[in-house]
Structure 1
Amino acid sequence: MGWRVRAIRGAITVTENSKEAIRDAVTELLDAVELRNKFDPDDIVSVTFSVTRDLDAMFPAAVARERPNWSNVPLLDVQHMHVEGSLERCIRLLIQINTPPLTQVHHAYLRGAQVLRPDLSMKPVSVNS
């Protein structure tokens, strides 16, 4: 059995609608996903970021594009559908990635976004683990 496309999901809330807060949140989310999944950015098929309508200070993809070896990764930003009463100031991501057989993927739901998928919320991971 050869490699296959898998999906890694994640989300994080942002403290405020500012470039600095969005940059910090996207960096934290991508750091967590990369730490837990140990992939080569060359294996990424594409990444879609969705943001709630209250976040418009910068594009999350602009942060991702600055990461080492991410300059050729296809990135897309979209506005997440608004549902009354839904989580505010939230950035979600969907990474489609080529993986070897039997590779386990680890999703990352951080900060206030843990309420979206408590079953997939990440416990803190040590950089030394």
Structure 2
Amino acid sequence: MIRGIRGATTVEKDTEAEVISAAEKLMAEIIQVNEIDPDTVASVFFSATDEIRSVFPAKALRKFEGWTYVPVTCMREIPVNNSLPFCIRVMIHVNTAKSQEEIKHIYQAGAIALRPDLVKKV
């Protein structure tokens, strides 16, 4: 079964270092908590809001061992009025035996506001 795993984060400003760092932190947590082996991944889609122009957020994924041949793409998020600015979203399509309820979607920084129902209470 192919399942989608979602995640999102925000940056304070559009610099290559900040975008890559935020995307890397987001992907690291998604990979860890969902126990993702890159050989099970069909594709990864990143999107970014209009404010992010310094770098492709997907570049962060290339820092992870084993992810060299995973198909990755970036796209522009739809510019909806009053939407969360400086936001990076990701959708990972992974082959897994996990149920929908077992998938852990990760929202960090300002993006927690997008899906507070999915954020773990500490």
- Which has the larger Rg? 1
Give how far 1:66 is off: 2.3
Paired residues for 1:48-127 under 5 Å: 48-102=45-99, 104-123=102-121
Give how far 1:122 is off: 4.0
From 16, 20, 37, give the equivalent of 2:17: 20
Can you list the C-alpha shifts for 1:25-55, whole angstroms capped at 9, x where unaligned? 0011001101110110110000000000000
Instruction: Provide the TM-score with structure 2 as the length reference.
Output: 0.93
The one-letter amino acid of 2:117's match is: D
CA RMSD of aligned residues (A): 1.4
- Identity rate, percent: 36
Partner of 2:40: 43
Q: In the alignment, is the contact (CA less than 8 A) between 1:49 and 1:61 conserved in 2?
A: yes
Q: Please state which structure has a larger fraction of its residues in helix.
A: 2
Instruction: Provide the TM-score with structure 1 as the length reference.
Output: 0.89
Give how far 1:123 is off: 4.9
